[in-house]
Amino acid sequence: MAAGAAPEDAARRLGAELRALQQRSGRTLRDLETRVRISDSSLSRYFRGSTVPPWSTVRDLCRALGADPIAYRTLWEAADRSRPEPPP
């Protein structure tokens, strides 16, 4: 992540990359909802970057969209680190 970048930027970047992957694939949110078994509303939140998906979800999305999940791992790790810590 670039120096001075807000932590949310990593989540938004991951979302934008996943959205671009989805758009390039031509698959609809409804199609992905069925293939990956995630609601279209959750997919929308992931693609907007308002929620960081679990790695297993990123992996499954990449596979469903014909991409290598490893190419998205570093981006996901940065986004995952940007999430606030859960309360004790």
Domains of the chain listed by start with CATH number: 7-81 (1.10.260.40)
| Residue at token pair 């992931």 | 46
Residue-wise pLDDT for 48-71, tens only, equals 999 999 999 999 999 999 999 999
In the chain, DSSP finds a helix count (H) and a strand count (E) of 5, 0
d(CA 84, CA 77): 14
Global pTM value: 0.84
Which residues in the chain land under pLDDT 50?
1-4
Q: How far is CA 62 from CA 5, 7, 18, 33, 85, in A?
A: 26, 23, 8, 13, 26
What pLDDT is stored for residue 1 in this prediction? Answer: 38
Give CA angle at 61 (57, 66), nearest 5°.
150
